Amino acid sequence: MAGTFAIILTLATFITAIFWFLEKFKWKPERQRKVEAVRQQTNGEVDGKVLAEVGKPKGWVESLASFFPVLFVVFVIRSFLLEPFQIPSGSMIQTLLIGDFIAVQKYSYGLRDPITNTVLISTGHPQRGEVAVFKHPNDSQLDLIKRVVGIPGDKIVYLVKEKKLVIYPACQSSDENCVGQQSMPLDLHYSDPEMSNWKEVHKNYRSNPSFYTSEQYASKGIAASNPLATLNMEIQKETLGNVTHDILTTQGTQEDISRFYHQNGQPIATWVVPEGHYFMMGDNRDNSGDSRYFGFVPEGNFVGKAVAIWMSFEKQPDEWPTGIRFNRIGSIH
């Protein structure tokens, strides 16, 4: 189901549309006829102020009708073209940062009913490597943004110690390298991990960590504020489909596999993506609640493809912005 704002916008557009059409095709012509009738009865000698009063619409009717064109444009753009989203957490660092405002291309995965999110016209499907916004499979009011890791038919194996993926795509009829029902694993082109410019900082008054660049960490005096822990983060390149991107991992940490979603018939940390579903993961691998934990995302839950950053504020979760990152405005990779 759509969010509260989408429902309110749809209802407001529909209601103001009724008043706009009534005003344009019924009430305004009736007032014009009354004005003409008064003019004829007085042989055109009536005061202009009287005619203006006779032809004047009710204030609330005029206001409601005037809102419709603006609401209609907003409704079309937001429902079928582009929708703005804010990045509230660090699960996609360094592709997306806390405080980034992104534009989501709504029509990438089909033109959808703005209320039910049902696909009206199919225009495409999520592809491996794309960054997408979707509804949490267990909470339709919660929007998440992650990267598409697995598409229908993929077998996903997460190597917990190495913090890497192994993906076996589903067999195609033309694939001569199939073993059973799976192809040979994809070559994900992992680069060697290197020390990144990011630090993961745990503070005693927050349940989730903050993330700072080394320069921010030094300039803000984070070390002097006695955080509970400061952890270094490593960076490496990962290729999914035709997309090469950075992933971050935190030194000295390990995922708790007991919290992983356990698919029937598969060992822990292994999943086979069902038809019509996708496997999503964050680029900040040790700080992302994703399909490893909540399972597969139905295609009907997708909102759209993230295509651009249109504004970026320097901030941490639950803090006021301290500046604007103009250098981040542009496309998403």
Domain co-membership, 207 together with 306: yes
Domain-embedded: residue 109: no
Distances (CA, A) of 284 to 1, 135, 173, 248, 266: 28, 19, 35, 5, 25
**Angstrom distance (rounded) from CA 233 to CA 196:** 6
pLDDT digits (tens, 9 = 90+) for 263-314: 999 999 999 999 999 999 999 999 999 999 999 999 999 999 999 999 999 9
pLDDT attached to residue 51: 62
**Structure confidence at residue 1 (pLDDT):** 47
**11-45: per-residue pLDDT in tens?**
999 999 998 998 888 888 888 887 677 666 776 66
Q: Flag whether 323 is in a domain.
A: yes
Residue 326 in domain: yes
Tally the domains of the chain: 2
- Is residue 312 within 8 A of residue 100, CB to CB? The reply is yes
Is 120 part of a structural domain of the chain?
A: no
Whether residues 77 and 186 fall in one domain: no
67 and 195 fall within a common domain? no
Same domain membership, residue 79 and residue 135: no
Answer yes or no: do 156 and 55 share one domain.
no
110 lies in a domain?
no
Give CA–CA dist 128/151, Å, rounded: 6
Considering the domain architecture, whether residues 175 and 269 belong to the same structural domain is answered as yes
Query: 312, 316, 97: which is closest to 222 by C-alpha?
Result: 316
Q: Does residue 94 lie in a domain region?
A: no
pLDDT at residue 131 tops 50: yes
In the predicted structure, residue 48 carries a pLDDT above the cut 70: no
Share of the chain above pLDDT 70, in %: 91
Does residue 26 sit in the same domain as residue 170? no
Co-location of 152 and 76 in the same domain: no
Give the CATH number of the domain where residue 279 resides.
2.170.230.10
pLDDT score of 171 more than 70: yes
Q: Is 59 within the bounds of a domain?
A: yes
Range of the domain at 269: 131-331
Residues 307 and 242 in one domain: yes
> Within its chain, how far is the Cα of 189 from the centroid?
27
Same domain membership, residue 279 and residue 167: yes
Give the ranges where 173-213 is alpha helix by DSSP (H).
none
Q: Which of 72-76, 123-127, 174-178 has the lowest mean pLDDT?
A: 174-178
Per-residue pLDDT at 7: 85
* Residues involved in catalysis: 91, 146
Confirm whether 122 is domain-assigned.
no
Task: Assess whether 192 and 285 both reside in one domain.
Answer: yes
Instruction: Tell me, yes or no, whether 256 and 318 share the same domain.
Output: yes
| Residues 187, 293 contacting (CB under 8 angstroms) | no
